[in-house]
């Protein structure tokens, strides 16, 4: 497995585990201090690790007893010099404490990773969903091509 594919897979697995555990510190550890996030929720962008950590804390705290399972599809990446750029489709499924599925949504994810000291950190993350042409509403259910 090429290093960029393995590194991106490791980063996504760590993302998935941090979200499920609602572990703000593990989640934030994936990102560089000067990260720039284009998220789908609430703000046009989030700049800097402290702001992104606060956003993650708000998300995880809002879940109460719920957990979020992240499924990863179509992950691909490439390395260009000191950067790894990858993309995937992520499906976020909220589950109740008893395992009941409460809601689910998918979105597209692109990440740029850069080597920072002895590890790779996310320096940019962009999430999106296509818009329905007629309604201008986000299409949050993954539909394979």
Q: Stretch 51-73: mean pLDDT, rounded?
A: 96
Query: In this structure, are residues 60 and 89 in contact, taking their beta carbons and an 8 Å threshold?
Result: no
DSSP 71: E
CATH topology of domain 3-128: Nuclear Transport Factor 2; Chain: A, (3.10.450)
Residues 6+ apart with CB under 8 A from 33: 48, 49
Q: What are phi and psi of 12, to 5 degrees?
A: -65, -40
Distance (Å, rounded) from C-alpha 5 to C-alpha 81? Answer: 14
pLDDT at 51: 96
How confident is residue 4, by pLDDT bands cut at 50, 70 and 90? low
pTM of the model: 0.91
């Amino acid at each position: 497995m090429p290093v960029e594919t393995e590194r991106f897979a490791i980063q996504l697995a760590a993302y998935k585990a941090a979200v499920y555990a609602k572990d703000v510190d593990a989640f934030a550890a994936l990102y560089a201090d000067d990260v720039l996030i284009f998220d789908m929720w609430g703000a046009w962008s989030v700049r800097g690790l402290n702001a992104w950590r606060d956003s993650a804390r708000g998300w995880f705290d809002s879940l109460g007893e719920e957990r979020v399972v992240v499924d990863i599809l179509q992950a691909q990446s490439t390395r260009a010099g000191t950067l790894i750029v990858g993309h995937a489709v992520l499906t976020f499924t909220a589950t109740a404490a008893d395992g009941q599925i409460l809601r689910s949504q998918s979105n597209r994810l692109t990440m740029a990773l850069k080597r920072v000291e002895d590890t790779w950190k996310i320096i940019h993350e962009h999430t999106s969903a296509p818009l329905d042409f007629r309604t201008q509403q986000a299409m949050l259910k993954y539909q394979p091509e």
